[in-house]
Amino acid sequence: MPTAIRCEAPKRFYEKCFGQDDTDLRRTNRMKNILVMGGTSFAGKALVRELLRQDYHVTVATRGQAKVDFEGSVEWVQFERTDLDSMVTAFSGKAYDVVFDQIGYCADDVADACEVFAGKIGHYVFTSSIAAYTTIHTGGMVETDLDLEVGWVPGRHSTGEIGYGEGKLQAEAYLAQMAPFPFATARIPIVLGADDPLNRLGWLVGRILDGAPIVIQPGCGVLGYIGTAEKGRFLTWLGLSGQEGAYNASSEPWLDPVEFTRLTGEILGAEPIVLTEGDEPDRMNWINQFDLTMDVSKARHAGFEFAEFDQWFPNVVKETAALHTVSKED
């Protein structure tokens, strides 16, 4: 298993990741202008927090429907991601060292970003997904397993029309063939955090604490995971170290749903009631019948070490359990 940089002293962390000590890096960071599109969402908040922790000058661009109180100074821009005119207006006359696009879901989204930011940014980081690999059922996938010479469907399409994974793949293909600036794509696995709007871990923790059955059908594949904070750290490294091309992200080891559930129960000090058959409401809903995992050797060889799963997962489970307890009291 890789040794996690997270556990090193801060000075060594910066030197290992960027070749500079903490003081020099922070002085340099304050001069960098960073844009995060979609920084108030579940995992987007972790990215903004990591950038602020490293003293970058951060602008967050959203539709303005949610504001987050970050520990640090943040500029806010309001825009509509699916409206090119809105993007042109919002970013007119502005330049950024790095743009993190957390809310691009199809080729048209990326095409708009290319038009708006051409000649105005130093680096663009697109958050993609492990779902882009869903036509490949081998597990341990490497970045070159995806064919980015494929075409894309023009027009703004909902994920329901072309599928979430296909949308991300087409967005990556557009970047690979048309991007007018340096870029990197981050292929992210299942993200776990206490405030997950999909409530994946929250559902499981609640079932275990309440003594409710959890149905996991036999033969499920192994899955890869990453924590919200770890995702933020990875994206920051990817953008600010100037990496280009596609990079997989994942903590290790990978787990099948039964082992994942057992480990969650162990952390909670409660025995999960796992069944192989049962009603639909009792079924764990983020399982696959094939392995869905990514090899992260490319990122590791480039200098990034992912924290191991058991370094961050127990805290996430405990935070999720605390929220479950509060909700029951309310």
- The CATH number of whichever domain residue 148 belongs to comes to 3.40.50.720
Average of pLDDT values for 95-123? Answer: 96
Query: What's the pLDDT at 43?
Result: 83
* Partner residues linked to 75 by β-bridges: 59
Domain presence at residue 319 = no
Extract the tokens encoding 143.
């970045």
The pLDDT value recorded for residue 188 is 98
| Residue 11 identity | K
> For residue 326, what pLDDT is reported?
64
Q: Report the pLDDT value the prediction gives residue 69, as an integer from 0 to 100.
A: 84
Over residues 66-91, the mean pLDDT reads 92
142-172 pLDDT, tens digit each: 999 999 998 887 766 555 678 899 999 999 9
Beta strands per DSSP E along 54-115: 57-62, 74-78, 96-101
What whole-number percentage of the chain has pLDDT above 90? 74
Statement: residue 116 has pLDDT above 80: yes
User: How many Å separate Cα 221 from the centre of its chain?
Assistant: 21
Strands 251-255 and 223-227 turn out to be: antiparallel
The neighbour count for residue 291, using CB atoms within 10 Å, is 18
CA distances (Å), 32 to each of 28, 113, 160, 185, in order? 7, 20, 38, 20
Pick the closest to residue 159 from 118, 129, 202, 190 (CA basis): 129
Minimum mean pLDDT range among 7-16, 109-118, 223-232: 7-16
> Does residue 96 carry a pLDDT above 60?
yes
Lowest mean pLDDT among 16-20, 89-93, 99-103, 276-280: 16-20
Lowest-pLDDT range of 1-15, 169-183, 253-267, 282-296: 1-15
In a domain, 323, yes or no: no
Q: DSSP E strands: which ranges in the chain?
A: 33-37, 57-62, 74-78, 96-101, 121-129, 183-188, 190-192, 213-215, 223-227, 245-248, 251-255, 273-275
Instruction: Pick the range with the lowest mean pLDDT from 7-11, 12-16, 134-138, 154-158.
Output: 7-11
pLDDT-based confidence at 30, cuts 50/70/90? Answer: low
The pair of three-digit structure tokens given for residue 10, joined into one six-digit string: 């801060």
150 within domain boundaries: yes
**What mean pLDDT do residues 213-234 have?**
95
**Which helix (H) or strand (E) is 174 found in, with range?**
helix 164-178
Instruction: Work out how many domains the chain is built from and give that number.
Output: 1
In a domain, 266, yes or no: no
- Average pLDDT score over residue span 35-39: 94
Range of the domain at 66: 5-192+225-253+294-309
Q: Which has the closest alpha carbon to 100: 6, 238, 192?
A: 238
Kindly calculate the radius of gyration of the chain based on its CA atoms and give it in whole angstroms: 20
pLDDT band at 288 (very low <50, low <70, confident <90, very high): confident
Give a yes or no: residue 315 inside a domain.
Answer: no
Q: Is residue 200, in this structure, part of any structural domain at all?
A: no
Average pLDDT estimate for 278-298: 92
Beta-bridged to residue 101, according to DSSP, are: 37, 126
Is residue 33 included in any domain, yes or no?
yes
Count other Cβ atoms within 10 Å, centred on residue 200: 17
Is residue 303 a contact partner of residue 296, using CB atoms and an 8 Å limit?
Answer: no
- Which segment of 45-54, 58-67, 183-192 scores lowest on mean pLDDT? 58-67
Q: How far apart are CA 154 and CA 84, in angstroms?
A: 14
Look at residue 330 in the predicted model and tell me its pLDDT.
56
Q: Is the pLDDT of residue 179 over 50?
A: yes
Residue 329: pLDDT over 70: no
Q: Where are the beta strands (DSSP E) in 228-277?
A: 245-248, 251-255, 273-275
Residue 150, pLDDT score: 87
Tokens of 172: 């990556």
d(CA 56, CA 16): 19
Q: What is the pLDDT of the chain when averaged over all its residues?
A: 88
Report whether 269 contacts 205 (CB < 8 A): no
Do the domain assignments include residue 249? yes
Q: Evaluate if residue 55 carries a pLDDT over 80.
A: yes
* Cα–Cα distance list, 316 to 77, 205, 250, 309, 322 (Å): 31, 11, 16, 11, 10
Residue 250 has pLDDT above 50, yes or no: yes
66 vs 151: which has the higher pLDDT: 151
pLDDT classification of 9: cutoffs 50, 70, 90:
very low
CA gap 74, 68 in Å, rounded: 10
